[in-house]
Amino acid sequence: MKSTRAVVFDVGSGSVRAGLAGDPAPSYVIPSRVKMTRHGSSACPRSSFVGAATGVDAPAVFPVRNGIITDWDAMEWMWERAFRELNTPPERHAVLLSDPPLSPLTNREKLAEVMFETFCVPALYVENQSVLSMYSCGQTSGLVVESGEGCSYATPVHEGFYLPSNTCRVDYSGSSLDRYLRALLRDSGIEIAEDSAAATEDIKVKCCYVAPDLDMELLKGESHVEHVLPDGQRIQLGRERFICPEALFQPRALDSREPGLHTLVMNSLNMCDISLKRVLRQNVLLCGGSTLFRGMPERMQRELDRVVPGGGVRVVATDTRKHAVWLGGSILAALSTFQSLWMRRTEYLEKGPNAVYRGFV
């Protein structure tokens, strides 16, 4: 597949990232939501999809829940739009897709079915998201801490293979922090509409940070900063700035009984044998939008130094970690040594959906 560059997709709960293999960043990024319109007669209603940003008054549809595609019709519409925006006719370009840790085995079969039968792509490869994240920083072994929009994982990767039996998952993530931040602001007399994702994201990105030590931060006394929302509204922000992301380490604030991210890492390491544990803890890689908070790498390092016996933990946080999965796919699909690993359309037509398990991990 060297005549034309492959198209790389990373589909997540919060966004769809797409672009050409070999590029340093995705060229097409849109929210993972569409609107569903209904038309036709009452006796024979029909539905179709439009972009979430259009002014059409229609219900929103979220094709991806907790990292897993649940509405394939809506997702097909998003893929079709991406191919069109990238000016990449799918029948001419191989496609590399990311697959989340612990996804159902049938997920890959459905991905192959859609890509080969609906879009008629000439070749396909599906790779685990955590493996791709590891490739994004030029490594093949380490422990990936992925916290995106729909869920969070601690995933061991060893020599390019992910270890599902040692992977730990929690349901809290970026969307959980959005709800928590709105509740904190409401308690302070600031009302942010539930459907105003842009306002919540703007506050998280520009104002929130992870405190090195929560108790010490609280002892400093409350200070306020003024922030202007995208709609022009001016608000005063106080402790919400560090109380919100603190929930990643103390998820009981989210009414969750699940462990904090640092404990998730410790639990995953404890499931690995001693020799592997030594390798993994030297490369704990933070990935995903919910790891972008200022102070996050330092706090994670501090917490892991405290809870992981024997020390030796090294937390890595690259500037590209928001797009780490996509970037890893871009690097992989552009390698000359990778080109023989594509699953060809002829192989799929001969063997059917089960062909996706050939060489896939």
Give the integer Cα–Cα distance in Å for 95 and 313: 36
Query: Which of 224, 227, 228 minimizes the C-alpha distance to 239?
Result: 224
Instruction: Give the start-to-end residue ranges of the domains of the chain.
Output: 7-130+323-357, 142-172+259-321, 174-254
174-254 shares the fold of 142-172+259-321: no
pLDDT in tens, 78-99: 999 999 999 999 999 999 999 9
Q: Can you state the percent helix, strand and coil of the chain, rounding each to 5?
A: 40, 25, 35
pLDDT in tens, 199-247: 899 999 999 999 999 999 999 877 899 999 888 889 999 999 999 999 9
- What CATH architecture does domain 174-254 belong to? Alpha-Beta Complex (3.90)
pLDDT in tens, 154-210: 999 999 999 999 999 999 999 999 999 999 999 999 988 766 778 899 999 999 999
Give the integer Cα–Cα distance in Å for 352 and 151: 31
User: CA geometry: angle at 317 spanning 315 and 321, to 5°?
Assistant: 140
Look at domain 142-172+259-321 and name its CATH class. alpha beta
Give the integer Cα–Cα distance in Å for 276 and 162: 12
Give the integer Cα–Cα distance in Å for 88 and 284: 36
CATH number 2.10.10.100 is the correct assignment for the domain at 7-130+323-357: no
